[in-house]
Amino acid sequence: MAASVRVTGLREFEAELSAAASRALPEVEKDVGMGCNNIKKDWRKRWSGMPYIARLPYTIGYDVVTLPGKVVGDVGPDHSKSRLQGPLANIIEFGSPTSAPIPGGQPALDTEAPKFEAALAALTVKLLP
């Protein structure tokens, strides 16, 4: 004897999920931008107050790019020669054979990650039926 299953409402639910996905990208872009800005400010604060790298905190910036189906955020120092002390960022962040590291990026990211995850979870609840 073969069992049968009847499913109702699946097409409607699929339409609701599709509508939620189309509304999600602009909201995710806002959350990514806010998270990147928070990381930038925290990182700058961690590197502030050191006279030998006084200008380095001001090289830290961020970009948010929206691509089809995803949002990408990039936070960090501008290493170009046009930004004074930007090329020193890797040495300060990761250290060298003669100087200890002064981490700023990873601690700032670690601080922001739970807030960002909570924001995306709240957005999911908001967008889903």
Higher pLDDT, 66 or 82: 66
Provide mean pLDDT across the span 101-105. 96
91: Cβ contacts below 8 Å, ≥ 6 apart? 99
How many structural domains does the chain have? 1
| 18 belongs to a structural domain | no
In a domain, 86, yes or no: yes
Tell whether the model's pLDDT for residue 83 goes beyond 80.
Answer: no
Q: Which residues pair with 67 in a beta bridge?
A: 70
pLDDT at 82: 62
**Amino acid letter at 129?**
P
Q: What is the pLDDT of residues 59-77, one digit of tens each?
A: 999 999 998 888 999 999 9
Q: How far apart are CA 45 and CA 43, in angstroms?
A: 5
Whether residue 66 is contained in a domain is answered as: yes
Residue 69 lies in a domain: yes
The domain containing residue 85 runs over which residues?
Answer: 25-127
Q: Residue 14 domain-assigned?
A: no
Residue found by looking up tokens 């050191």 in the block: 50
